Amino acid sequence: MKYTLRTPKGSIDKTGKRTEFRNQILDETIAICEQHDAVCIETPILERSEILHNRYGPSHNNKIYKVCNQGGELLSLRYDLTVPFARYVCQNGKNPIKRYQFGNVYRRLEWKSPFSGRSSEFMQCDFDIAGEY
């Protein structure tokens, strides 16, 4: 069987100067976040679909990637970092808290052109404050 070796639409391999520049930006941003007493909290890439559904408005529901685990539970790739953090705060009662997170997020794209330049996977950075300071 012959395979076409390419990345899926909306994704690219990142190497060399692109990753070096990204890492430099991440290091500088982390230093700034920590100067403001923020802690790093990383939420999972997968969330239960009910957590993400209708949190971004009905027009965005079709842009969320959905998968089913072996147990039949409907899961979604995170659409952003804020809603998973809100779930974390409610689940763990962490309040007040300052946090930062870097992570890839995923959005299904409607492809009008294969050369639209839009990406379905991209890195997002959040700095959130929950509670009163």
Strand arrangement of the beta sheet that strand 97-106 belongs to? 39-40, 97-106, 121-130
DSSP assignment letter at 54: T
In this predicted model, what pLDDT tens digit does every residue of 78-114 receive, in sequence order?
999 999 999 999 999 878 999 999 999 998 877 655 5
Calpha distance 126→101 (Å, rounded): 5
Q: Taking the CB of residue 46, how many other CB atoms lie within 10 A of it?
A: 15
pTM: 0.83
Contacts of 79 (CB under 8 A, 6+ apart): 52, 55, 56, 60, 63, 64, 105, 106, 107
**Cβ atoms of 60 and 76 closer than 8 Å:** no
For residue 71 the two structure tokens come to: 């147990």
In this predicted model, what pLDDT tens digit does every residue of 52-71 receive, in sequence order?
887 777 777 888 889 999 99
For residue 50 the two structure tokens come to: 């009910």
